[in-house]
Amino acid sequence: MTHVVILGAGIAGVPTAYALKAQLGPHDEVTVVSDKPYFHFVPSNPWVAMGWRERADIAFPIGPYLESRGIKFIHSGVKRIQPEVMQVDLENGDGLFYDILLIATGVAGMRDDIPGLAEHTHSVIHIDEAERALAAYREFVRRPGPIVVGAAPGASVLGPLYEYAFLVDADLKRRNIRERVPITLVTPEPWPGHLGLGSEDTSRGALAAALADSKISVICNARTLRIDRDAIHVVELDAAGNEKQTHALPYAYSVYWPVFGGVPGVRASSGLVNARGLVEVDEYLRNPDYPNVFALGACVAQPRVGKTPVPVGAPDSVYSIQKAGEIVVQNILALIGDAPLSSHVPQRAKWLSDMGNTGAAYLSEPQVPLRDINWMRQGRWVHQAKIDFEKYFIGKIRLLPAGRAPSAASSIADVMGRALAGAATVARPTQAGAGRPLEVRLPQDPWIELRALAKSLGREPDALAAELLAAAVSDAKSYLDGDGTEAMARSRRELLVGELPEQQPGVAFDAGAP
């Protein structure tokens, strides 16, 4: 019997746990450990920070979904890892032994690196931080002023930096106060769109043009020195690394990307991590000194792609994490079966960034030079594609295991419960023009019963039928397996993109793209 322990229940840990449990033997065990009892879709955090998503839209308890697959779930933080004795010490006081360990904990922002960063700026790395950023933003719009969106020297995964700046721009325009709010983007990159990859192709011109169109000022090669209550102090370097200009940027609201480091329990595990607490791995995504310890996701120590005047970390995306997760699963199974391991190099970088009503898609293959493919595209289709991918990924996490059909009453029971609770209220007529029309012809008996049910509840038949049909569709989706869910996601995407007022011929979007 092999015991695989996975630290982390996020976009890296949960899909990998599902895949491993499905392919391991009947007597092998998979245990997932997380300091949080819920899964949440991290790429939607910027939307949470803008009030465009709520916690319930992207986060839900993960224990029941793991346990439905026979995966044990432990809600506890990690105190430290002892790889020499193959044990994880948990904050709840327990010790957990493993045969194979996968670290997929995500990261912590090193917000103490820059004086004043933690006290005066906000972050959207975690959903709790995004909610605090939203509360501060709501106060800000009552008394608008300058906004600074920035990244610390050495920060990585900079795509969301631009995304957040564009989201703020779009939101302020909707509130009709954009002209009162100067927006400055501060980045360690040598040019907008470098993103830690170094490409000077279409991404550089397209992103610079988009920023200019949105009247977002940019300071590149920026080293943030300190942040006071009313000013952010930045030194701008030239291409040779010499000091070019200093800036004292006034601000009323600021969101900053800190440098990433390992979470405390992993950071305390000597022999596995670098100075920042990120896990050292080889091309097989396992630690060079402890071959039964693997790592996946943002917690992996990734080398910088190239030298820049101000350090810039490497990018990452849901797409690259999922592809690396496939390699981890292959290699864990290979390690158990004493078979050759597979390399995860070269990588492919691919992600989507929302820009309000539009968006940008980026593809680089391979991720590090020399590249065969390197492009960036913009359009409304990207905005819609990111919304659709969020639904697809969350739906995949909540998918029931094969052979486990849900109760047919799940969503319908919720509709009926709400209807019964309001049975004595005045009937609510269907609003003219609300929703999309769909002609459905019912046989005589169900047609009479629907009308009788609606009348008994004090509801309009059309309104009740629409709620019941929507609930039935939700329940029906729960019966699909993984292939069925992906096929439905592709069909849904085709229908949505086909109805957009703007289309871009020749642009393809894969279900696992971001």
Question: Is the per-residue pLDDT at 479 higher than 60?
Answer: yes
What percent of the chain is predicted at pLDDT more than 70? Answer: 79
Nearest-angstrom CA–CA distance, 195 and 56: 31
What is the identity of the amino acid at 176?
N
Q: What is the pLDDT of residue 266?
A: 95
Q: What is the pLDDT of residue 509?
A: 30
Class of domain 3-109+261-345: alpha beta
Task: Give the tens place of pLDDT for each residue, 222-272.
Answer: 999 999 999 999 999 999 999 999 999 999 999 999 999 999 999 988 889
Q: What is the pLDDT of residue 507?
A: 32
60 versus 416: the higher-pLDDT residue is: 60
264 versus 400: the higher-pLDDT residue is: 264
* Closest listed residue to residue 129, CA positions, set 78, 100, 164: 164
Tokens of 438: 């769909």
Task: Give the tens place of pLDDT for each residue, 102-127.
Answer: 999 999 999 999 999 999 999 999 99
Mean pLDDT, rounded, of the chain? 83
Domain ranges of the chain: 3-109+261-345, 117-258, 410-429+439-477
Task: Give the tens place of pLDDT for each residue, 80-99.
Answer: 999 999 999 999 999 999 99
Question: Is the per-residue pLDDT at 499 higher than 60?
Answer: no
Task: Give the tens place of pLDDT for each residue, 155-168.
Answer: 998 888 888 998 89
Q: What is the pLDDT of residue 312?
A: 93
* Among the ranges given (22-36, 232-246, 412-426), the one the predictor scored with the smallest mean pLDDT: 412-426
Question: Is the per-residue pLDDT at 484 higher than 60?
Answer: yes
Under the banding of pLDDT at 50, 70 and 90, the label for residue 514 is: very low
* Among the ranges given (152-166, 205-219, 419-433, 488-502), the one the predictor scored with the smallest mean pLDDT: 419-433
For 364-391, the DSSP string reads EESSSSS-SEEEEEESHHHHHHHHHHHH
* Among the ranges given (8-12, 278-282, 306-310, 432-436), the one the predictor scored with the smallest mean pLDDT: 432-436
Same fold, 3-109+261-345 and 117-258: yes
- Give domain 117-258's CATH superfamily: FAD/NAD(P)-binding domain (3.50.50.60)
Task: Give the tens place of pLDDT for each residue, 53-81.
Answer: 999 999 999 999 999 999 999 999 999 99
> Helix, strand or coil for residue 467?
helix
Note the pTM of the prediction, 2 decimals: 0.77
Q: What is the pLDDT of residue 12?
A: 95
Tell me the CB-side half-sphere exposure of residue 126, using CA atoms within 13 A: 13
How many whole angstroms from its chain centre is CA 29? 28
Question: Is the per-residue pLDDT at 328 higher than 90?
Answer: yes
For 266-294, the DSSP string reads HHT-TTTB-TTSPBP--TTSB-SS-TTEE
